Structure 1
Amino acid sequence: MIKSKLNIFIKVVLLFAVCTTTLCACSVENLFDYYLNENNVGSVYADNISAHFIDIGQGDSIFIELPNHECMLIDAGIANKGEYIENYIISTGYDTIDYLIATHPHADHIGSMDYIVSNMDIGSIYMPKVSTTTKTYERLLEAVQEKGMKIKSARAGMSIVDEEDLNVDILAPVEIDEGELNNCSIIIKITYESDSYLFIGDAEKEELSTVTADMSADVLKVGHHGSRTSTTEEFLEEVNPEYAVISCGIDNDYGHPHEEAVSLLNEFNVEYYRTDLQGTIKITSDGSRNYSVTTEK
């Protein structure tokens, strides 16, 4: 997977090398620093991890730049947001999604995933082994079939990335609850040296109680858009996050985030952010628990 910004930078350096006789006051090192600062290249040149919680309204879509220069997309929001998500990813310099994750087959998580599959290069696709009869789900399956790809059935204990300082692990589903798709959600934990991120889809307390793996994490993607059914005192005690992100739409019909969930985050002194209030949220860290947060609004 090659990033276009890297190609651009190489061209800039080559051009600079040709012009060094007349630009002797400058240095390659200064040009390098200028390019990085001006273009916010991020993890192309530094071994950072960045999680982009894309504001797509009442749904989830999280783009993750991994420190091994691969990337991941967890969910693809509601319908008619595919081009927006694609353009956002391209704007960061990526043209390939190495790992595509559909946490569960609800329309606010896979609504635009058929577009993403059809229009972007995809490495692997992970979904829980559960089905539904909705048109949204059927369109996704058709897109995968037309692409000639196969879906990997996600389950607890699987590893997506297993490297010396980087692990992307699937902690759930432990079991499939076909009567409640939220509780079939893929739960992913990313660990990069001393940093950790937990993404729980729409998992509610029933599914969370089945997880036996370590769910402690510095950064938490709050479950089910801030629903009271996902954020409990017991869960926050286990995760013990420093930062949390709630992905929800402005004035949504569900009352998300619920007051009970927000109160618990405050009680546990969690620094939390909301896409409905702050737009797209980006959290970056360097493996040493040095986190930075930027928001669109």
Structure 2
Amino acid sequence: MLLVLVFSSLQCGGSFGWISEASAQSVVVPSVSCGSGAKMKVHFYNVGEGLAVLIALPDRRHILVDTGDFPRRQGCGSVCSEAHSHLIDQLERDLKGAPIDMLWITHLHSDHIGGASLVLRTFKVNAYVDNGQGKKQNTVRRIRTMARRRRVRVVTVDPGHRDLPIESSSALQIRAIVPPRWPKPCHINPNNCSIGLRVDYCNSSVLFIGDAEAEEEKLLDLLGSITLFQVGHHGSDTSSSESFLSKLMPKYAVISAGRAEEGLNRHYCHPHTSAVVRVNAALGGSFSVPMRVFDNRMRCNQAREEDWKSVLTSDRLWITSRDGDIVLTTTGDGVFQRE
């Protein structure tokens, strides 16, 4: 029996419908307009030294940006397996049986793609997106093959391909933020082949840039200022340059990073003092919340306890290593509040 899935598109001041065929029960998603009070929720999960963020759109669709690290990554110990289990548990709670409409992998480092296989096995995923690199990497090939076997649409986004497998409307714009060219061949530095994702809901916007560093940042057309910013590369000094932040003009920001003494962050020492200082300056607000940061003038592989220090940061800046899971909501009014 052929059934129909009906979505009412999100619009400012009105609505219209689009219909697609699906082998599932007919579902009508109510239309939402600017000023309606409908919420967009952004869930930054505490996955240690990695990134995993669920965007619950106001029309009940869901986008998952990255999936944290492999549960058994060498050198990570129990931290990675516990973070992996936590991610799956939280997704089950927050999705409540709904599909992941788009799984977006910013780039192919393990702390961003490592959980993709289990996500694909555990949840219904409608589309999988990555940057098309890593064709010779067994893990990446297996993930793409698994997606296709599960009838998940596999899409490449890169400088020559920006079309997304998810609908936008006048109130909800979902766009790829990709440079006109990669700064260098991607095998040299995969961080600088991160594919950014921008979501605008009326007057609120959020930008995810994975691990993009300054070399890629300067090539990006951001399509305007940003309300909420995922701080690049876990708060590394290599990212969040002053010129980039001056273009972003963010109101709020989140760093996803592991604790200093745990798992893989023993080798990376995120966040770095210099990056946090730059983000603080861009955000403003009340500098009243202490954050543990690494003095990146020192060598991380020889880090001492005294190389870590506590600095006061903006009350508009959160970090998963201190704050745990971070859920920020907006009604499209240009303001995000933590639940």
**TM bucket, shorter chain:** 0.7 to 0.9
Q: Does 1:158 align with 2:193?
A: no
For structure 1, which runs of at least 5 residues remain unmatched after alignment?
A: 3-44
Q: Which residue of 2 aligns with 1:223?
A: 232
| 1:46-82 Cα distance to aligned partner (Å, 9 max, x none) | 5111110000100000011001110110000011254
Please report how far the alpha carbon of residue 210 of structure 1 lies from its aligned counterpart in structure 2 after TM superposition. 1.5
* Whole-Å separation in 2 of the counterparts to 1:158 and 1:211: 17
TM-score (normalizing by structure 2): 0.70
Please report how far the alpha carbon of residue 161 of structure 1 lies from its aligned counterpart in structure 2 after TM superposition. 3.2
CA contact (8 A) 1:78 1:111 kept: yes
| 1:193-243 Cα distance to aligned partner (Å, 9 max, x none) | 000111111111111111134252010000000011111100110001111
Residues 150 and 70 (structure 1 numbering): CA distance in 2 closer, same or farther, change over 3 Å? closer
* Whole-Å separation in 2 of the counterparts to 1:134 and 1:91: 32
CA contact (8 A) 2:47 2:84 kept: no
* Whole-Å separation in 2 of the counterparts to 1:142 and 1:237: 41
| 3-state DSSP of counterpart to 1:256 | coil
Partner amino acid, structure 2, of 1:263: V
Partner amino acid, structure 1, of 2:227: D
| Count of aligned positions | 252
Q: Does 1:73 align with 2:75?
A: no
CA contact (8 A) 1:172 1:186 kept: yes
Q: Which residue of 2 aligns with 1:184?
A: 193
CA contact (8 A) 1:201 1:223 kept: yes
* Whole-Å separation in 2 of the counterparts to 1:93 and 1:119: 12
| 1:256-291 Cα distance to aligned partner (Å, 9 max, x none) | 111100111222225211001111111100011232
* Whole-Å separation in 2 of the counterparts to 1:244 and 1:223: 10
| 3-state DSSP of counterpart to 2:89 | helix
CA contact (8 A) 2:225 2:250 kept: yes
* Whole-Å separation in 1 of the counterparts to 2:93 and 2:193: 32
Q: Which residue of 2 aligns with 1:266?
A: 280
Partner amino acid, structure 1, of 2:193: C
Q: Identify the structure with the greater helix proportion.
A: 1
- Please list, as runs of the form range in 1=range in 2, the aligned pairs for 1:269-284 lying within 5 A after superposition: 269=284, 271-284=316-329
Q: Which residue of 2 aligns with 1:211?
A: 220
| 3-state DSSP of counterpart to 2:126 | strand
- Please list, as runs of the form range in 1=range in 2, the aligned pairs for 1:83-102 lying within 5 A after superposition: 83-95=85-97, 96-102=99-105
CA contact (8 A) 2:104 2:130 kept: yes
* Whole-Å separation in 2 of the counterparts to 1:233 and 1:153: 30
**Bigger CA drift: 207-216 or 284-293?**
207-216
Q: Which residue of 1 aligns with 2:254?
A: 245
Residues 142 and 93 (structure 1 numbering): CA distance in 2 closer, same or farther, change over 3 Å? closer
CA contact (8 A) 2:128 2:153 kept: yes
| 3-state DSSP of counterpart to 1:51 | strand
Please report how far the alpha carbon of residue 129 of structure 1 lies from its aligned counterpart in structure 2 after TM superposition. 1.8
Alpha carbon RMSD of aligned pairs, Å? 2.1
Q: Does 1:116 align with 2:116?
A: no
Please report how far the alpha carbon of residue 132 of structure 1 lies from its aligned counterpart in structure 2 after TM superposition. 5.5
Which of 289, 292, 297 is the matching residue for 2:337? 292
CA contact (8 A) 1:245 1:272 kept: yes
For structure 2, which runs of at least 5 residues remain unmatched after alignment?
A: 7-35, 72-82, 285-313
Q: Does 1:131 align with 2:137?
A: no
CA contact (8 A) 2:126 2:153 kept: no
* Whole-Å separation in 2 of the counterparts to 1:255 and 1:217: 27
Q: Does 1:140 align with 2:143?
A: yes
CA contact (8 A) 1:201 1:224 kept: yes
CA contact (8 A) 1:189 1:198 kept: yes
